[in-house]
Amino acid sequence: LTQPPSVSANLGQTVQITCSGSSYGYYGCNEYGWFQQKVPGSAPVTVIYYNDKRPSDIPLRFSGSKSGSTGTLTIT
């Protein structure tokens, strides 16, 4: 999997983080999940699962998408 080493934005800007991988993952599928870890060593929180599904307790500003073998997390 390939991700940018870092992303940055000013307050109010939209951030996109991409993750590129093989077109063929486990059993021929390649789905993406995104996780937020605020403090090193703490448990990560799932913000997006199965490419674009958002848990009910996650704010609407988090969204996910997938195109081909690339997953994208967008934070507005």
Residues near 50 by beta carbon (within 8 Å), at least 6 away in sequence: 31, 32, 33
Segments forming the whole domain that contains residue 23: 15-75
pLDDT (tens, 9 = 90+) of the chain, 76 residues, equals 899 999 999 999 999 999 998 656 555 567 899 999 999 999 999 999 999 999 999 999 999 999 988 999 999 9
Classify residue 7: in a domain, yes or no. Answer: no
Q: What is the pLDDT of residue 21?
A: 80
Query: Would residue 23 count as lying in a domain?
Result: yes
Q: What is the pLDDT of residue 69?
A: 87
Number of domains in the chain: 1
Tokens matching residue 13: 């800007």
pLDDT at 13: 97
Q: What is the pTM of this model?
A: 0.88
